[in-house]
Amino acid sequence: MMNNRSREHTLADFQRVALVLPGARAPWLAQARSAALERFAHSGFPTIRDEEWKYTSVAAIEKHAFLALPGGGGNAAAAAALVQNLALNDGSGHLLVFHNGRHAPALSAPGRLPAGVTLGSLADALEQMPDALAPYLGDNERQTVFGALNTAFMADGAYLHLPRGTVMEQPVHLLFITTASGAAIAPRNLIVAEAGAQATVIEHYAGPDGVVYFTNVVTQIFAAENAAIEHYKLQQEAAQAFHVAGIHVAQGRGSRLASHSITLGAALARNDITTAFNAPGCEATLNGLYLVGGQQHVDNHTRIDHLQPNGTSHEYYRGVLDGRSRAVFNGKVIVHPGAQKTNASQVNHNLLLSRDAEIDTKPQLEIHADDVQCTHGATIGQIDDEQLFYLRSRGVEEAMARGLLIHAFAHDVIERIRVAALRSRIEQILLTRLPQGDRIKELT
């Protein structure tokens, strides 16, 4: 019954905003929105009877009956204060701010861009050159039903186009802040890197505590021959917020992807990250860290498709769970027929700090080629008693010893972050959550 009511609410909400969504006059986009909405109308929100959602209930999202805000708006002063606290760059990078789902030029500082680079609002691009985006935004093959909803409701997001051979020296920081209670925000980010282009992009989501909202975001990355994209996703939404995200990558010959997903906030968070090796010689590294407590729920689903030979992928996810929190990790590595000389590894390690915390982990390998090197595995455990005893026997008090061990466990992922300002920010957040964090900071 809930699914039917929430489905009707969502369909009615689309009718309310359809005519004011960006690109509404582009026939291909109207058709894409219609097809996406039809998919949702047929299936409704996923339930735990769906295999891909069996450990993650989205009933709380349905219950809140969020409403789309196609025009953005909201408390500008609150947004400005958040930007001041959350911005990572020192003025030398490229900051693009989105407030309540819409680009906020007054809060942004895009900086000086290399010749030919486009960095701006997707809404503006959809109004000014919609047909140029059709080949990319029409690629929805790997979307979940939430991705379909994003296609229907997308109102804005970042558009980054890198011409052939372009190297962006400074990172692009895409900061999404939501201050509107009851809002459903549907950002769509599009990154197109032509042959040989290189860039570092940080997606960052946050909101003030106490505000209940729903972020449903999709990011698409197209990396052409020998392109290199380093992508970071930092999710530190409000504790009462909901966050569902899809990051989908298409890789050309010899391209390189480094994906880092850091999940810290939201009552419920789901990340679907996929990449497809569409030509030989691709490389992908997927790193992830989730730190959750209380009754938080985080779900990470990843998929790497080795479609062509000589591909290399490494996946490394770690989770720290406290309180009554719950996490899900489902990682698929699929080596398709003909993808010879594939080298793939996948591992998921989890540290449970409470007897009430729970993790469901399922690393998967599907191999349909015979000349490959593939490994996968997972571990779930509590703080090692022998390590704790070792520190205690050397005069370290118990709270401090536990904090040091948790820090070492999480830091193994944090140290892989190459953007110094972002690495420092996440390190500081970790320390504030640890027993004796201030003292540990002095030692590290």
Report the 3 state secondary structure along the chain.
Answer: CHHHHHHHHHHHHHHHHHHHCCCCCCHHHHHHHHHHHHHHHHHCCCCCCCHHHCCCCCHHHHHHCCEECCCCCCCHHHHHHHHHHHCCCCCCCEEEEEECCEECHHHCECCCCCCCCEEEEHHHHHHHCHHHHHHHHCCCCCCCHHHHHHHHHCCECEEEEECCCCECCCCEEEEEECCCCCEEECEEEEEEECCCCEEEEEEEEECCCCCCCEEEEEEEEEECCCCEEEEEEEEECCCCCEEEEEEEEEECCCCEEEEEEEECCCCEEEEEEEEEECCCCCEEEEEEEEEECCCCEEEEEEEEEECCCCCEEEEEEEEEECCCCEEEEEEEEEECCCCCCEEEEEEEEEEECCCCCEEEEEEEEEECCCCEEEEEEEEEECCCHHHHHHHHHCCCCHHHHHHHHHHHHHHHHHCCCCCHHHHHHHHHHHHHCCCCHHHHHHHC
Please report which confidence band the pLDDT of residue 4 belongs to, taking 50, 70 and 90 as the band edges. Answer: confident
Q: Does a structural domain hold residue 238?
A: yes
Q: Does a structural domain hold residue 162?
A: yes
Contacts (Cβ under 8 Å, ≥6 apart) of 326: 55, 296, 297, 298, 357, 358, 359, 360
Q: What is the pLDDT of residue 70?
A: 77
* Range of the structural domain that residue 69 is part of: 2-279
**What is the C-alpha to C-alpha distance for residues 406 and 351, in angstroms, rounded to an integer?**
8
Q: Does a structural domain hold residue 338?
A: no
CA-based nearest residue to 253, from 307, 321, 173, 328: 307
Domain end position, chosen among 279, 313, 332: 279
Q: Within this chain, do residues 390 and 274 fall inside the same structural domain, yes or no? A: no
Q: Are 319 and 382 in contact (CB under 8 A)?
A: no
Please report which confidence band the pLDDT of residue 347 belongs to, taking 50, 70 and 90 as the band edges. Answer: very high
Q: Does a structural domain hold residue 366?
A: no
Q: Within this chain, do residues 21 and 138 fall inside the same structural domain, yes or no? A: yes
Reply yes or no on whether the pLDDT at 357 is more than 70: yes
Reply yes or no on whether the pLDDT at 90 is more than 70: no
Q: Does a structural domain hold residue 209?
A: yes
Domain end position, chosen among 279, 305, 320: 279
Please report which confidence band the pLDDT of residue 102 belongs to, taking 50, 70 and 90 as the band edges. Answer: very high
Q: Are 201 and 170 in contact (CB under 8 A)?
A: no
Give the residue-averaged pLDDT of 140-144: 85
Give the residue-averaged pLDDT of 413-430: 94
Q: Within this chain, do residues 252 and 390 fall inside the same structural domain, yes or no? A: no
Q: What is the pLDDT of residue 93?
A: 84
Please report which confidence band the pLDDT of residue 139 belongs to, taking 50, 70 and 90 as the band edges. Answer: confident
Q: Express each pLDDT in 156-215 by its tens digit.
A: 999 999 999 999 999 999 999 999 999 999 999 999 999 999 999 999 999 999 999 999
CA distances from 346 to 67, 248, 280, 427 (A): 39, 18, 20, 24
Give the residue-averaged pLDDT of 339-364: 96
Q: What is the pLDDT of residue 228?
A: 98
Q: Does a structural domain hold residue 139?
A: yes
Q: What is the pLDDT of residue 428?
A: 93
Please report which confidence band the pLDDT of residue 101 belongs to, taking 50, 70 and 90 as the band edges. Answer: very high
Reply yes or no on whether the pLDDT at 89 is more than 70: no
Distance separating the N- and C-terminal Cα atoms of the chain? 53
Please report which confidence band the pLDDT of residue 76 belongs to, taking 50, 70 and 90 as the band edges. Answer: confident
Give the residue-averaged pLDDT of 213-226: 98
336: tokens are 């398709």
Q: Within this chain, do residues 233 and 89 fall inside the same structural domain, yes or no? A: yes
242: tokens are 């909901």
Domain tally, the chain:
2
Q: Are 411 and 403 in contact (CB under 8 A)?
A: no
Reply yes or no on whether the pLDDT at 443 is more than 90: no
* Single-letter residue type at 332: K
Q: Does a structural domain hold residue 225?
A: yes
Which residues sit opposite 277 in a β-bridge? 251, 306
Q: What is the pLDDT of residue 92?
A: 67
CA distances from 169 to 116, 195, 196, 199, 401 (A): 14, 17, 14, 7, 40
Domain end position, chosen among 249, 279, 309: 279
Q: Within this chain, do residues 208 and 66 fall inside the same structural domain, yes or no? A: yes
Q: Does a structural domain hold residue 240?
A: yes
Q: What is the pLDDT of residue 441?
A: 80
Give the residue-averaged pLDDT of 312-317: 98
Reply yes or no on whether the pLDDT at 1 is more than 60: no
Q: Within this chain, do residues 92 and 225 fall inside the same structural domain, yes or no? A: yes
Q: Within this chain, do residues 274 and 396 fall inside the same structural domain, yes or no? A: no
Q: Express each pLDDT in 34-50 by its tens digit.
A: 999 999 999 999 999 99
Q: What is the pLDDT of residue 399?
A: 87
CA-based nearest residue to 235, from 160, 155, 182, 178: 178
Q: Are 295 and 325 in contact (CB under 8 A)?
A: yes
> Regarding beta strands 172-177 and 94-99, do their DSSP bridges make them parallel or antiparallel, or are they unpaired?
parallel
Which residues sit opposite 174 in a β-bridge? 96, 203
Please report which confidence band the pLDDT of residue 141 belongs to, taking 50, 70 and 90 as the band edges. Answer: confident
